[in-house]
Amino acid sequence: MYMTQQSMLLCAVFVPVVGAFFLPIAGRISLKFRNLFALGLVLASFIFSMSLLPVALSGKSILIARQMGMGINLIFLADGLAVFMACVSSLISAIIILYSFGYISHYDNQNEYYSMVVLFLGSMMGLVFSANLILLYIFWEITAITSWRLIGFFREKEHVLRADKAFLVTFFGAVVMLIGFISIYQTTGTFDLTPGAISNIAVLLILAGILSKSATLPFHTWLPDAGVAPSPVTALLHAAILVKIGVYVFARIFIATFTVSAFWHTAVPIIAVVSAIVSGGAALVETDLKRLIAYSTISQIGFIFFGLAVGNTMAVAGGLLYILMHGFAKAGLFLCAGIIEQNTKIRDITKLGGLITTMPVTAMAFLLCSFSVMGIPPFGGFFSKYMVFSGAISSGQLWTSAAFLIAAVLTILYLFRVFNLVFLGEPKTSRAKEGSFIMVASVAILTALSLLGGIFINYPFNFVQTIVSNLSGIIR
């Protein structure tokens, strides 16, 4: 049966959203069926998103609009930016769920885990396709609720407290952002995302919400604490969905829709560079493996914000491209950390060593994903970072670019430090062994995507170039 483009758009959002509520029922039928059903829901969302690519690549868009009243309208928009984020999020989420088959298999609360993960992805899909600020806010808060349950998955008191912290920080930011949305409504008379200029107060309020969600200074502390969650959850938080929500909404509101004053082209890069350097320094001295990778995420999100805030075509394209490349590589790093933690019961990198002899595949995957995050050619991370720096320098952001070079050097130092302490030297534990086939295969897929993304850079590059050429707002 032929499906319209509007139907495929709705399916990309509501197949995972609705399907998530049937996963506990599936779990009562068969655990294997539940797992495959969860994977099928996310893959279906990915396939429906991919089916919208021809429209996005042509520079056109798909719009679904239903008037609801009071300025709250059901409006979904599939343009290049939305389709790009939807494809990235659903693809990485599918690989993470595949990895979960091995990681989660011996823990309790599995029905809730898969339900929350799939609903998490579904809410992200709803958010990226939302073209109404209140609709966007609703999906934004659903991601907060699902991440709260997933961070506290193990139910220990400390874990629950850290989950509460993550929820409260991001919820506070969301409320402040909502006030910014109301400010826009008072000015424009609509919550719909329609091009125009907005006040500095509205920008400040919305930016506070964005920075809290993306764990950027000074709202960053909740993200390292969220490392108590299962490793596939931390991969979701860092690579696929949660912190990327902030950068996506920044791009949607301040690049694709509204115009802002020139002040923000200077202010946001400064915030980004301070966040990148401080978190990079924290990663350099951290000994907990998952907290260290979390600080790395905060630092790399700074690079993405830098590219988007600079505002010219090259820098914005580099920022968008790094969303994809960082997603592959950082998911790979967290899933490698999950294999290490689960098989050694150790997260302190000073108490590990020599794991390359017992975990050779995990070791090589960690190293190669690290290369992409460092920005070493021919990995995808190199090209995206090069584009950000090139665009920034051409816009006169010389001092900020120089400061980001410091953050880039810190990235190389702390990732090589981790590899040296964890995988090289004399073995310090006899319990180390390679992960299960499905977990190692998932990591290998992400590693391959990180490398192939660089080797075949023309394909994602041309896509982001198409996206940027159709954006308005701060592009100049």
The 10s digit of each residue's pLDDT in 50-68 is 999 998 888 889 999 988 7
Judge whether residue 216 has pLDDT over 90: no
Question: Domain count of the chain?
Answer: 1
70 has pLDDT over 90? no
pLDDT for 194 beyond 90: no
Quickly tell me which residue has 């990148």 as its tokens.
276
Identify whether 199 is part of a domain.
no
pTM summary value: 0.94
* Residue range(s) defining the domain that contains residue 426: 262-476
Query: What are the C-alpha distances in Å from 265 to residues 197, 198, 270, 397?
Result: 15, 15, 9, 10
Confidence of residue 219 (pLDDT cuts 50, 70, 90): confident
**For residues 41 and 134, what is the distance between their CA atoms, to the nearest angstrom?**
26
Is residue 321 domain-resident? yes
- Residue 367 in contact with residue 447, Cβ under 8 Å? no
Q: How many helices and strands, by DSSP H and E, does the chain display?
A: 20, 4
Q: What is the pLDDT of residue 271?
A: 93
**Is 90 exceeded by the pLDDT of residue 243?**
no
Q: Is residue 69 part of a domain?
A: no
Instruction: State the pLDDT confidence band at 473, using cuts at 50, 70 and 90.
Output: very low
Q: Is the pLDDT of residue 341 over 80?
A: yes
Backbone torsions φ then ψ of 465, nearest 5 degrees: -65, -40
pLDDT above 90 (res 113): yes
Region of poorest pLDDT, from 67-71, 137-141, 145-149, 439-443: 67-71
pLDDT given for residue 474 in this prediction: 44
Q: Is residue 224 part of a domain?
A: no
What are the C-alpha distances in Å from 242 to residues 143, 226, 246, 275? 7, 12, 8, 18
> What average pLDDT does range 339-345 have in this prediction?
90
Q: How far apart are CA 239 and CA 222, in angstroms?
A: 16
Q: Is residue 39 part of a domain?
A: no
Mean of all residue pLDDT scores within the chain:
91
What residues does 66 pair with on adjacent strands? Answer: 74
Cα 172 to chain center, whole Å?
Answer: 20
Residue 94 has pLDDT above 80, yes or no: yes
Angle between helices 437-455 and 313-344 (to 10 degrees): 160
pLDDT, tens digit, for every residue of 29-55? Answer: 999 999 999 999 999 999 999 999 998
Alpha helices (H) in 130-218, listed in sequence order: 133-151, 157-188, 200-213
Q: Are 334 and 439 in contact, with CB atoms under 8 Å apart?
A: no
* Residue 237 within any structural domain of the chain: no
CA 89/CA 99 separation, integer angstroms? 15
Q: Is residue 302 part of a domain?
A: yes
User: E strands of 4-86, at which residues?
Assistant: 62-66, 74-78
Answer yes or no: is 343 within a domain: yes
Residue 137: exposure state from Cβ atoms within 10 A (0-12, 13-18, ≥19): buried
What confidence category does residue 363 fall into, taking pLDDT thresholds of 50, 70 and 90? very high
Query: What are the structure tokens assigned to 375, written together?
Result: 């920005």
In 3D space, the residue among 283, 275, 462, 453 whose CA is nearest the CA of residue 381 turns out to be: 453
Determine the average pLDDT of the residues in 110-123. Answer: 95
With bands split at pLDDT 50, 70 and 90, how would you rate the model's confidence at 405?
A: very high
Residue 475 pLDDT class (50, 70, 90 cuts):
very low
Q: Is pLDDT above 80 for 448?
A: yes
